[in-house]
Copies of this chain bind each other. A is one copy, B any other.
Amino acid sequence: MAEIQVSPIKQMEYRASKISDVVSLAQGIPSFDTPEVIKDNVKAAMDADLVARYSLPQGLPELRDMISQKLAQDHMFYDSETEIIVTCGAIEALSATFQSILNHGDEVVLVSPSYASYPELIKVAGGKPIFADLVENEGWRLDVTAIEKKISRKTKALLICNPNNPTGTIFTKQDLTSIAELALQNGLFLVLDEVYKDFVYGEEPFYFLAQEKKYRQNIIRIFSLSKSYAMTGWRIAYLHSAAENIVEILKVHDSLVTCAPVVSQYGAYTALQRGDGAVKEFTQVYNRRRNLMCHRLDKMEKYLTYQTPGASYFILPKVLVRQGSDSWKFCINLLEQAKVALVPGVAFGPSGEGHVRISFGRSDDDINLAFDRMEKFFEYL
């Protein structure tokens, strides 16, 4: 296991926590507290002696029913009894999935740049991550041909984060369909991580590939409550797929965590039932912060260029000064000299190098303070 590492995002947060007066736009932590309505109902569940004991490994039946109903609103039809597992966050959902579907040495094709923890959890599952680059100058477009070229006899799955962390890209229906066809034709699993699907800033409704019956056996879709409902600390998410996949993933999930924390399952139930207002409110604020960040970035065009994110609360600008070519070194300099924590782009795959990830999940004040400091930092380089 020497080849795997603690997520660079957390390494950066840990370094930042050791320096006073740092402003961090690093880890993707919502600035908001969990909505009161969720906390109130969790307290009621605690009072009613509902949280002390294990749930079934797949989760509370009423929560799975609620998930099934919410999925149906987006035209995804999954049976609450046999096709849904409540998990201890999206990371556990992904780990249980890959530990279930991968044999030792199997390959998973994923895009670069994409979420930093993917390669690590694929490696822990005994698999090998294979990167296919996104097309940066076309708004970090999915390159279906590049993905197809990476498929080998050892490939077991494709992994797509949509909207994509760290680029904030919403992949097009057409490109997603091409990827699904690749999965179908090659007998591959298509793992879809859609944890940012609620933070979408355009007019176009988000397209859910998991609504297509044709790909039901291939698709394993993951959604987390963490971002949409400001619940990262609660470790609560779910996955859904065809029953024959779920029965296998459930065994691994059971042996990883027994069940998701029950207190958080009650939180998730209320979030799905009554949290829509909070999600809308958060989305409006994040959109405003996105515009603020783009405005601040526009003023730094000598130093940073960027593709406008259509979703999520991340942006991945390219660093134009020579120091930025080693993004780890650059971020450590920025942290130590300007007391601003960002995540080095190389954390997100080979083609992330030369970039930095900035989160606009944090407060306006933090964003403005970080950019004030960065402007000075670049001027004195």
Contact with B along A56-67 (1 / 0, CB 8 A): 110000000000
> What separation, in Å, do the CA atoms of A255 and B89 have in the docked complex?
11
> What separation, in Å, do the CA atoms of A47 and B101 have in the docked complex?
41
User: Contacts A56-B14, A124-B99, A230-B52: A92 and B257 contacting too (C-beta < 8 A)?
Assistant: yes
Contact with B along A239-282 (1 / 0, CB 8 A): 00000000010111011111111111000000000000000000
Tell me if A29 counts as interface (CB < 8 A to partner B). Answer: yes
User: Contacts A39-B46, A88-B257, A255-B117: A32 and B14 contacting too (C-beta < 8 A)?
Assistant: no
Contact with B along A311-341 (1 / 0, CB 8 A): 0000000000000000000000000000000
> What separation, in Å, do the CA atoms of A234 and B53 have in the docked complex?
7
Tell me if A205 counts as interface (CB < 8 A to partner B). Answer: no
A202 partner residues in chain B, CB cutoff 8 A: none
A257 partner residues in chain B, CB cutoff 8 A: 88-89, 91-92, 95, 235, 256-257
CB distance from A192 to the nearest CB of B (A): 19
Tell me if A10 counts as interface (CB < 8 A to partner B). Answer: yes
A260 and B234 contact, CB distance less than 8 A: no
> What separation, in Å, do the CA atoms of A54 and B231 have in the docked complex?
9
A255 partner residues in chain B, CB cutoff 8 A: 4, 7, 91, 95, 117, 120-121, 124
A232 and B53 contact, CB distance less than 8 A: yes
Complex partner residue of A261 from B13, B49, B264, CB under 8 angstroms: B264
A261 partner residues in chain B, CB cutoff 8 A: 88, 233-236, 261, 263-264
Query: 13 A-B contacts, Cβ less than 8 Å apart?
Result: A1-B100, A1-B251, A4-B255, A10-B56, A32-B52, A33-B49, A33-B52, A89-B257, A117-B254, A124-B255, A233-B261, A236-B261, A256-B257
User: Contacts A34-B51, A232-B53, A261-B263: A252 and B39 contacting too (C-beta < 8 A)?
Assistant: no
A99 and B1 contact, CB distance less than 8 A: yes
Of A54, A234, A262, chain B has the most CB atoms within 10 Å of the CB of A54
A236 partner residues in chain B, CB cutoff 8 A: 261
User: Contacts A233-B261, A234-B51: A95 and B256 contacting too (C-beta < 8 A)?
Assistant: yes
> What separation, in Å, do the CA atoms of A47 and B55 have in the docked complex?
25
> What separation, in Å, do the CA atoms of A256 and B257 have in the docked complex?
9
User: Contacts A4-B251, A46-B42, A99-B124: A234 and B258 contacting too (C-beta < 8 A)?
Assistant: no
Tell me if A5 counts as interface (CB < 8 A to partner B). Answer: yes
Among residues of B, the one whose C-beta sits closest to the C-beta of A33 is: B49
Tell me if A381 counts as interface (CB < 8 A to partner B). Answer: no
